[in-house]
Structure 1
Amino acid sequence: MGKITVAHKKVNLPYKYCPVCGLRFTWRKKWRNNWPSVRYCSKRCAAKGVG
Protein backbone atom coordinates (compact mmCIF):
# COMPACT_ATOMS: atom_id res chain seq x y z
CA MET A 1 0.00 0.00 0.00
CA GLY A 2 1.07 3.59 -0.61
CA LYS A 3 1.83 6.17 2.02
CA ILE A 4 -0.87 8.61 3.03
CA THR A 5 0.38 12.16 3.33
CA VAL A 6 -1.13 14.50 5.89
CA ALA A 7 -1.28 18.23 5.24
CA HIS A 8 -0.59 19.02 8.90
CA LYS A 9 -0.29 17.20 12.17
CA LYS A 10 -2.62 18.13 14.99
CA VAL A 11 0.14 17.72 17.55
CA ASN A 12 1.81 20.82 16.08
CA LEU A 13 -1.23 23.07 16.46
CA PRO A 14 -1.44 25.54 19.37
CA TYR A 15 -3.94 24.81 22.11
CA LYS A 16 -5.64 26.45 25.08
CA TYR A 17 -7.65 25.30 28.08
CA CYS A 18 -11.27 26.40 28.50
CA PRO A 19 -11.70 28.28 31.81
CA VAL A 20 -15.24 26.94 32.26
CA CYS A 21 -14.98 23.19 31.63
CA GLY A 22 -11.22 22.75 31.61
CA LEU A 23 -11.24 21.07 28.19
CA ARG A 24 -8.11 21.40 26.09
CA PHE A 25 -9.04 22.70 22.65
CA THR A 26 -6.84 23.23 19.62
CA TRP A 27 -6.54 25.98 17.04
CA ARG A 28 -9.08 25.93 14.21
CA LYS A 29 -8.80 27.57 10.83
CA LYS A 30 -11.88 29.72 11.50
CA TRP A 31 -10.06 31.23 14.50
CA ARG A 32 -6.91 32.20 12.53
CA ASN A 33 -7.65 35.93 12.64
CA ASN A 34 -8.59 36.16 16.33
CA TRP A 35 -6.85 33.25 18.10
CA PRO A 36 -5.50 35.52 20.90
CA SER A 37 -9.05 36.53 21.83
CA VAL A 38 -10.55 32.99 21.79
CA ARG A 39 -11.20 31.97 25.41
CA TYR A 40 -13.87 29.27 25.37
CA CYS A 41 -14.09 25.88 23.67
CA SER A 42 -17.74 26.29 22.65
CA LYS A 43 -20.70 28.65 22.59
CA ARG A 44 -22.16 26.77 25.55
CA CYS A 45 -19.13 27.54 27.71
CA ALA A 46 -19.06 31.13 26.49
CA ALA A 47 -22.68 31.52 27.61
CA LYS A 48 -21.86 30.16 31.07
CA GLY A 49 -18.76 32.33 31.40
CA VAL A 50 -16.33 32.21 34.27
CA GLY A 51 -17.69 32.44 37.74
Structure 2
Amino acid sequence: MARQRTERSSVVSGVRPRDRPVKTCPVCGRPFQWRKKWKDVWDEVRYCSERCRRQKKSPITDRGV
Protein backbone atom coordinates (compact mmCIF):
# COMPACT_ATOMS: atom_id res chain seq x y z
CA MET A 1 0.00 0.00 0.00
CA ALA A 2 1.40 3.41 -0.98
CA ARG A 3 2.22 5.84 1.74
CA GLN A 4 0.43 9.18 1.52
CA ARG A 5 2.40 12.37 1.98
CA THR A 6 1.10 14.68 4.61
CA GLU A 7 1.27 18.46 4.55
CA ARG A 8 3.75 18.31 7.41
CA SER A 9 6.26 16.18 5.48
CA SER A 10 6.53 18.74 2.66
CA VAL A 11 7.23 21.62 5.03
CA VAL A 12 10.93 22.21 5.70
CA SER A 13 11.86 24.33 8.72
CA GLY A 14 8.39 25.89 8.88
CA VAL A 15 8.40 27.30 5.33
CA ARG A 16 6.42 25.71 2.53
CA PRO A 17 8.32 25.14 -0.73
CA ARG A 18 6.19 27.67 -2.60
CA ASP A 19 7.04 30.30 0.02
CA ARG A 20 10.83 29.90 -0.06
CA PRO A 21 12.98 32.76 -1.42
CA VAL A 22 13.92 32.57 -5.10
CA LYS A 23 16.90 33.97 -7.01
CA THR A 24 17.78 33.91 -10.71
CA CYS A 25 21.10 32.44 -11.83
CA PRO A 26 23.09 35.01 -13.85
CA VAL A 27 24.67 32.29 -16.04
CA CYS A 28 21.72 30.13 -17.12
CA GLY A 29 18.89 32.50 -16.23
CA ARG A 30 16.92 29.84 -14.37
CA PRO A 31 15.24 30.54 -11.04
CA PHE A 32 16.42 28.55 -8.04
CA GLN A 33 15.04 28.26 -4.52
CA TRP A 34 16.58 28.51 -1.07
CA ARG A 35 18.01 25.25 0.23
CA LYS A 36 18.61 24.26 3.81
CA LYS A 37 22.36 23.92 3.20
CA TRP A 38 22.42 27.62 2.17
CA LYS A 39 20.64 28.88 5.31
CA ASP A 40 23.75 30.65 6.68
CA VAL A 41 25.06 32.01 3.35
CA TRP A 42 21.91 32.71 1.30
CA ASP A 43 22.92 36.37 0.76
CA GLU A 44 26.20 35.22 -0.81
CA VAL A 45 24.71 32.53 -3.11
CA ARG A 46 24.76 33.73 -6.73
CA TYR A 47 24.72 30.60 -8.89
CA CYS A 48 22.23 27.73 -9.02
CA SER A 49 24.88 25.03 -9.30
CA GLU A 50 28.58 24.28 -9.23
CA ARG A 51 28.49 23.98 -13.03
CA CYS A 52 27.16 27.52 -13.44
CA ARG A 53 29.69 28.82 -10.92
CA ARG A 54 32.51 27.33 -13.01
CA GLN A 55 31.06 28.75 -16.24
CA LYS A 56 30.66 32.29 -14.91
CA LYS A 57 31.72 34.92 -17.39
CA SER A 58 35.30 36.01 -16.98
CA PRO A 59 36.23 39.64 -17.59
CA ILE A 60 36.79 40.41 -21.27
CA THR A 61 40.39 41.35 -21.92
CA ASP A 62 41.72 43.18 -24.95
CA ARG A 63 44.16 40.89 -26.73
CA GLY A 64 45.49 43.63 -28.98
CA VAL A 65 44.14 42.05 -32.15
Which TM-score tier does this pair reach, normalised by the shorter chain?
Answer: 0.7 to 0.9
Partner of residue 47, structure 1? 54
Pairwise CA RMSD of aligned residues? 2.0
Partner of residue 62, structure 2? none
Q: Show CA shifts across 1:3-50 (max 9, x none).
A: 822324211100100000001000000000000000000000000113
Higher relative contact order (CA 8 A, sep 6+): 1
Aligned counterparts of 2:47 and 2:5: Cα–Cα separation in 1: 36
How many corresponding residue pairs?
Answer: 50
Q: Work out which of the two has the higher radius of gyration on C-alpha atoms and give 1 or 2.
A: 2
- TM-score, normalised to structure 2's length? 0.67
> Does 1:32 pair with 2:39?
yes
Sequence identity, in percent? 42
